[in-house]
Amino acid sequence: MNLLVTGAAGFIGSTFVRTLLDDGYPELAGARVTALDKLTYSGNRDNLPADGPRLTFVHGDVCDRELLRRVLPGHDAIVHFAAETHVDRSIEGADEFFRTNVLGTDTLLNTALHCGIQRVVHVSTDEVYGSIEEGSWTEERPLLPNSPYAASKASSDLVARAYWSTHRLNVSITRCSNNYGPYQHPEKLIPLFITNLLEGEHVPIYGDGCNVREWIHVDDHCRAVYLVLTRGRSGEVYNVGGGNEQTNLAVTERLLELCGADRSAIRMVPDRKGHDLRYSVDDTKIRQELGYEPRIPFERGLADTVAWYRGNIGWWKSTKHAAG
């Protein structure tokens, strides 16, 4: 199989590619990968193997139609991770989010259609559903995004659905809860707090810290994407959950313990605009249809993540301070 992975040098995309090249996904054993990435601030070529007979790296933009027309022919499937993803950045300026997430998805799927690509997985987020006070979202819940980032991802989901409905493109959509793990850019909550604590800095918590997120280790998420790619139904949406809900304050307190800091490191800061209170997905569908279940307990995964950042200071220092 020849697989094209967009956003392949980012946090989740690179995890998927590294695992695939290590033959961690049995039904993709021996597959060749074209890794496409624009290498913006959140993409890092060092997240991928330097070379290898099964890996081809292409520096490029999913909005570049001419590039896609040259690259896509000969591929059997696409896994579409490429996206602008940071809520705070989308509040400061949303143009690039809609360009990459919406127009980029349309450009990619249109080119895939005309190149005869047999299979596409579009990777999305639970944030498209908005906020939920109690219970959990099923895939049938309406999309009610509250941030420009979430709105751009909801729009890209609808683009993907339209290509399935109108053109019968064989595309499935995944909507995952909050990811954590190695190689995550230090702008996100868990790596930001870990790296701040390792540098002796304070950690900023929005509002009262009671916002609830459901956490999943990136390895579990990527395994779910693999299952949807190889076994998922065309036109279907699959929620992917980690089964572990935590307040931001509870996550922070555990990180303080793991990093050897105390509560004096916490700084409460004004809440951000449109801050969703709680996310929670019902992932019964992917569990029953595809046999998915998360394997990495949050407590162990978080400890392993702290250990990774502690042992890879050179990686995150250059990434973090280049972004600043």
221/179 Cα distance (integer angstroms): 8
Residue 32 belongs to a domain: yes
46 falls within a domain: yes
Q: What is the pLDDT of residue 50?
A: 87
Count how many domains the chain has.
Answer: 1
Own/partner pairs, 108-113, CB within 8 angstroms, 24+ separation: 108/6, 108/62, 108/68, 108/78, 108/80, 108/82, 109/159, 109/160, 109/163, 109/169, 109/171, 110/65, 110/163, 111/65, 111/68, 111/69, 111/72, 112/72, 112/78, 112/169, 113/163, 113/167, 113/169
Q: Let me know if residue 257 belongs to a domain.
A: no
Tokens 């979430």 belong to which residue?
150
Residue 61 Cα distances to 56, 67, 148, 238, 263, angstroms:
15, 8, 21, 26, 43
Q: Tell me, what's the pLDDT at 319?
A: 84
Residue 106 domain flag: yes
Query: Catalytic residue positions?
Result: 126-127, 149
> Is 249 a domain residue?
no
Could you tell me the pTM of the whole model?
0.96
The model's pLDDT over 40-82, given as tens digits with 9 standing for 90+, comes to 999 999 999 988 899 999 999 999 999 999 999 999 999 999 9
Is 182 domain-assigned?
no
**pLDDT band, very low/low/confident/very high, at 303 (cuts 50, 70, 90):** very high
CA-based nearest residue to 219, from 5, 51, 34, 11: 11
Q: Mean of the pLDDT values across residues 128-151?
A: 97
Percent of the chain exceeding pLDDT 90 equals 95
3-class DSSP state for residue 84? coil
At residue 26, the pLDDT reads: 97
214-243 per-position pLDDT tens digit: 999 999 999 999 999 999 999 999 999 998
pLDDT at 253 over 90: yes
Specify the pLDDT at position 324.
45
**270: in domain:** no
Contact by Cβ (8 Å): 37, 84:
no
> 321 pLDDT band (50/70/90 cuts)?
confident
Task: Calculate the average pLDDT of the chain.
Answer: 96
CATH for 19: 3.40.50.720
Let me know if residue 259 belongs to a domain: no
Range of the domain at 232: 2-177+218-242+279-295
